[in-house]
Amino acid sequence: MAQVQYDCSRGNHPNVSNSTASPVGHEQIHLLLNVCKEAKKAAYCPYSHFPVGAALLTCDGKIFSGCNVENACYPLGICAERTAIQKAVSEGYVNFRAMAIASINFEDWEKKVIREFCFARLSLNYIATAFKTEVRVLPALTHADSPTETIFIRKNKPLKDPLSAFRWQGFKLEEYLIGQPIGKGCSAAVYEAAIPLSSNYRRSEDSKPLEGKSPDAQWDHGSVIHPAERKPIQTNQQRAAFPLAIKMMWNISAGSSSEAILSTMRQELVPASGSALSGEYGAVACHRRPVFGKKRLEPHPNIIQVIRAFTSSVPLLPGAYVDYPDVLPLSLNPSGIGHSRTLFLVMKKNPCTLRQYLSERNSDAHLSTLMILQLLEGVDHLVRHGIAHRDLKSDNILVEFDSAGCPWLVITDFGCCLADENIGLRLPFTSWYVDRGGNGCLMAPEVVTAIPGPGVLIDYSKADAWAVGAIAYEILGLCNPFYGQGRSSLESRSYQEDQLPALPDTVSFDVKQVVKMLLQRDPNKRLSARVAANVLHLSLWGENILVPKSLKLDKMIGWLLHQSAATLLMDGLVDRSRVETKMKTCFLANLEYEDLWEAAFLLLSWRNHSA
């Protein structure tokens, strides 16, 4: 991540000289970050499990480190900042230039601990804070309680958990109220759901065992279905009362044990939050993690977050006999082929899919560009974590709306993803039995044309970016060129770039070029999701620096500082759910110097060539 020095005026403190301090250099910042990360490893926090490391830079260039130390009454423990400061003060150092903090969060109590010493004798001119997923550069702390500003925003800020008020609930199917079906795919059904305010509710009197079965237990393939798990309460409450969506996987081949289900359906758990696996199912996952070898994805605003995951007996839900009778267990359908238990995933409910949204509304050019940009940000996040979705399509993209009605896109359905700790994004393709993904129509050329053999690898690093290029046609108001039949449809296996349909005149030149470069057959010529996203960011908000003769480093840094300040101001004064604010935050958080310059020069070269 690139870092920007924030030049702050120095506060006045008693007993401290007011000599001017020079800005902290990049090398010193990197050194501070490394020292505080090492100090964090020595943290003793058996009670809070919240390790923190700190590194303090004196005006003489000496660095003091510290970590948090707890005891049985851990609120009385010593925090990392206090440890580092006390070590320095005890050796006679009272003037300081910077402090770096390595942690997984940043709370007000950290600033209060530092400010407490500022009251007395310390002068902190710069504070560079390093987190697990972010870097912050903070201004000087003075005796006045001045607000703390942020230059680089948290990179992967956890999404708000709809179950935050039910911390220890939601790990059993019986705790949910199940509403009407929302959707159905090839491997699961999705229902609206909610957790009632009180868990002390009575089971519906209409819930009866199937005729001919014991009222105490029902059997299927040797697994007992307990009465308490048979059927969740259903209600006729209004749909607005269901803030959650619960996805019931269809279990045909995984068996009925939790371990077998986890092994078979582990890809569905890739976007699961840390608290999602805290129940019975999580205990299995934690003990077997090295065996299953699947990655877990860090939170991202454009990626769905599974907030609960558990196994339970398959219930008879609304529409089951009509929509998916064949995958029901024998206990519910004598001709069904499903097992008695399966995996349930709980997520926030979104209003619609991208396909549904596009079928009802025509977005203008600006909104369309923002939607394409969001998909690129989501795909880039996957690539950074060594994950390929492999089933991107408008049905697998959910839509939420911000306070201004702007669509916010969320990538969902990870059942076909490649998320292996051992192979990353390069899949050994040794035989035709190796699964290449789930969506044949939107399968990138290098994937669909691969021929198996010894040593053959399929590189998925730009495969999802290609799919975004195809979906962009739908977002921009046209039919997806890789769907349908007839002369107008194309196949990813054989198409040529000059066969791609022309985009409407209302689409900007920059967006047309991005879509064209995303759909290059040769992955070496294709844009990565990160560079493509940077191009759109610059096209939307960086026009003033895209002058050929004035594209210089100092101007780029000035523009980044301006964008940072503007984003912070908007984040504080405007609704934080606004799409543009979120997109600028993602851009600043994922900033890489080389990728940004590549995007800027690409834009300029395209425009010069067009002119």
* Catalytic residue list: 391
For the record, the structure tokens of 299 come out as: 């939170």
Using only the alpha carbons of the chain, give its radius of gyration: 27
Q: What element of type H or E holds 245?
A: strand 244-249
Closest CA to 220 of 339, 398, 325: 339
437: left (phi over 0), alpha (psi -120 to 50) or beta: left
Compute the distance between CA of residue 556 and CA of residue 538 in angstroms, rounded to an integer: 11
Tell me, letter by letter, the H, E, C secondary structure of 158-193. CCCCCCCCCCCCCCCHHHCEEEEEEEECCCEEEEEE
Q: What is the 8-class DSSP label of residue 329? A: B
How many CB atoms are located within 10 Å of the residue 391 CB?
Answer: 22
Closest CA to 112 of 145, 75, 76, 153: 145
For the record, the structure tokens of 246 come out as: 């619960």
Residue 294: C-alpha distances to residues 262, 266, 380, 580, 583 (Å): 11, 7, 19, 33, 29
For the record, the structure tokens of 437 come out as: 């993904």
CA-CA-CA-CA torsion for 281, 413, 159, 234, nearest 10 degrees? -70
Compute the distance between CA of residue 591 and CA of residue 447 in angstroms, rounded to an integer: 29
Helix axes 593-610, 553-573, angle to 10 degrees: 110
Compute the distance between CA of residue 24 and CA of residue 27 in angstroms, rounded to an integer: 8
